[in-house]
Amino acid sequence: MSQPWPRTLWIVRHGQSAGNVARDAAEASGLAMIDIAERDIDVPLSPLGREQSVALGHWFGELPPDRRPEVVLTSPYVRARETTRLLMESAGLDPRKVRVRIDERLREKEFGILDRLTVLGIREKYPELSAQRRHVGKFYFRPPGGESWCDVILRLRSVLEMMTREHCGQRVLVVAHQVIVNCMRYLIECLEEHEVLDLDRQADVPNCGVTSYEHDPSTDSLVLDLANFVAPLREAGAPVTVEPDALAAPKP
């Protein structure tokens, strides 16, 4: 039975956020807590994140009209919605012609009681959870009140099903978060736990980095075209940043 995939699928991580900057400052100072007042959902882009979003939008705008996004799916988090708005404005994508959908299933992984803690903070406040996370691994570890990667993957399965049902043959842009990018790759490329974690260990997903797929009619599958593509940022002179997501503890 054929699989009605989108014609093109881009998956983009949001631009650098104020949370990324606050996390870096907390880590550099050896603090246990990331100093940021907003809820994770409300954390905005940093000035650099806005610059990155505009630069990436120019790249999309330079594509031929028949190669540009027709549908945009975005996380409801402010940093993702701001990235989407700035990208579309600088690309010249008319929201009256390009369908924009805010989808809560694309939200950031939920960290539960570990929210806003650095690695040091987790070790100090919840040493047993820190040890359990090291033993179980991030793919299966679920902090109290939070999610594992498996939980994220479960909600993303329905996103992919929706794409095949409603956006078959269309060009779809997804704007979300680092864990979403990696978990989408896990699903689309039929990876195993060790393979997706290898990707995660190799490097953080760059802010406004592009991972894309093209539909191959001969195999009726999505084929990886670009992975963490940041050339549009470099060409525009916008610095490339690869910080872990805003309130997520970095890799131990």
Q: What average pLDDT score do residues 133-146 get? A: 96
Q: What average pLDDT score do residues 61-87 get? A: 98
Q: 206-245: b or e for each residue (b if 16 or more CB lie within 10 Å)?
A: bbbbbbbbbbeeeeeebeeeeebbbebbeebebeebbbbb
Instruction: Identify whether the C-beta of residue 59 lies closer than 8 Å to the C-beta of residue 92.
Output: no
Judge whether residue 243 has pLDDT over 90. no
Task: Give 2's pLDDT tier (boundaries 50, 70, 90).
Answer: low
Judge whether residue 1 has pLDDT over 60. no
Residue 250 confidence (pLDDT): 45
Tell me whether residue 158 is exposed, middle or buried, using C-beta atoms within 10 angstroms of its C-beta: 0 to 12, 13 to 18, 19 or more: exposed
Judge whether residue 244 has pLDDT over 70. no
Binding residues: 79
Q: What average pLDDT score do residues 139-159 get? A: 98
Task: Give 218's pLDDT tier (boundaries 50, 70, 90).
Answer: very high
Residue 49 confidence (pLDDT): 97
**For 93-131, what is each residue's pLDDT tens digit?**
999 999 999 999 999 999 999 999 999 999 999 999 999
Please name which of 118, 20, 39 lies closest in space to residue 78, comparing C-alpha atoms.
39
Residue 238 confidence (pLDDT): 87
Instruction: Identify whether the C-beta of residue 207 lies closer than 8 Å to the C-beta of residue 221.
Output: no
Binding residues for substrate: 79
Give the end-to-end CA distance of the chain in Å, rounded to a whole number: 43
One-letter amino acid at 78 equals V
Phi-psi region of 251 (alpha: psi -120 to 50; beta: other; left: phi over 0): beta
**For 11-55, what is each residue's pLDDT tens digit?**
999 999 999 999 889 988 999 999 998 999 999 999 999 999 999
Query: Could you tell me the domains of the chain?
Result: 8-18+42-111+146-230 (3.40.50.1240)
**For 159-183, what is each residue's pLDDT tens digit?**
999 999 999 999 999 999 999 999 9
Task: Give 65's pLDDT tier (boundaries 50, 70, 90).
Answer: very high
Q: What average pLDDT score do residues 61-78 get? A: 97
Distance separating alpha carbons of residues 79 and 180, to the nearest angstrom: 14
Residue 241 confidence (pLDDT): 92
**For 82-91, what is each residue's pLDDT tens digit?**
999 999 999 9
Q: What average pLDDT score do residues 47-64 get? A: 97
Tell me the pLDDT of the chain averaged across its residues.
Answer: 93
Higher pLDDT: 235 or 212? It is 212
Q: What average pLDDT score do residues 136-160 get? A: 97
Judge whether residue 252 has pLDDT over 90. no
